[in-house]
Amino acid sequence: MKGLELSRRYFEAYGPSLFAGLPADVRAQAAVGLVGPGSECLGFDDELSRDHDFGPGFCIWLPAAVFDVWGPELQRRYDALPRTFLGFTRPQAAPLSGKRVGVFETSSFLRAFTGLDRPPATSREWLAIPEQFLAVVSGGEVFVDEGGDISAARHVYEGFYPEPVVRQKVAANLATMAQAGQYNLPRCLSRGDAVAAGAARAEFACALMAVLHLLSRVYMPFYKWSFRSLVERTAAGRAYAARIEALVAAPVRTVRAGEVECLCAGVLGAVRTLGWTGCASDFLLDAALDIHGRIEDEYLRACPLGAGAYA
């Protein structure tokens, strides 16, 4: 059973008892679901995922005024729920995992991932949020939300970046692809430095996957799920998946410049088709500078070229 389905069924079984006897407006302003950094919130959980932070549980989100009064009582009731359900047992949270289920104040929950207690309103705010955290706050599922607060925020995040921000992030990642893949990788190989070449290849692959996610209007998640996300969640990425896998899986000393250039040409063709650059050069740094220079947003145009690259 997938983690999201387990969470939903656990809530259906025990959720009503949490609110029994509480004022009606507490339930009316609460939202329940499962949103967070776990693989289950992306639908990527498997047998291996069950060795940590996996088990029956869900999140309860409350507005600040309700949380201050009723949050502790709801958390006490939540902690008293059975830890074992349908053969799965909820473990104690690992030290590095933090609190992933239970009762949260809505604004604080969002702020923990985005630095904001509301959706971003400017290009500066959008650009400042690490992309993998946007994948978190827009992932998972809200089962019920009578108050509507967290669903309203998620609706904004699910709408993806404003287009000027997308262009800036594409430019930044194209610049990384140029530096790591077209320039540094062949130089490292020429020097016989396989370790540096491997690092350059990894940087190139990450930036390439980031561009393909952006062109598909999908947030790229935490790095260990980036390739699976590319294959399963993006339209642009599936056409590149086999070539990316072959490039990364090969012994680095066998990588040829033509393999890198073929991937670069495909991405460059995509951004040219969008009309974001008319640059005739095959070197992606030139295209990145052209895209950046055409952005009309004053804040973004004043940013360094690399601002917004996946990191």
| pLDDT over threshold 60, residue 46 | yes
Helix axes 226-233 and 194-215, enclosed angle (nearest 10): 30
Mean per-residue pLDDT for 18-38? 95
pLDDT of residue 96: 56
Q: Please provide residue 56's backbone torsions phi and psi, each rounded to the nearest 5 degrees.
A: -65, 130
- For the chain, the structural domain boundaries read 3-158, 163-302
Angle (nearest 5°) at CA 111 between 131 and 82: 100
Closest CA to 291 of 309, 279, 308: 279
Q: Contact at 8 Å (CB) between 170 and 271?
A: yes
Q: What is the pTM of this model?
A: 0.94
User: For the ranges 12-16, 235-239, 262-266, 283-287, which has the lowest average pLDDT?
Assistant: 235-239
Q: Contact at 8 Å (CB) between 142 and 32?
A: yes
Q: How far apart are CA 39 and CA 210, in angstroms?
A: 19
Looking at every residue in the chain, the average pLDDT score rounds to 95
Give the pLDDT confidence of 103-131 residue by residue, as tens digits: 999 999 999 999 999 999 999 999 999 99
Closest CA to 19 of 31, 8, 35, 9: 31
pLDDT of residue 98: 63
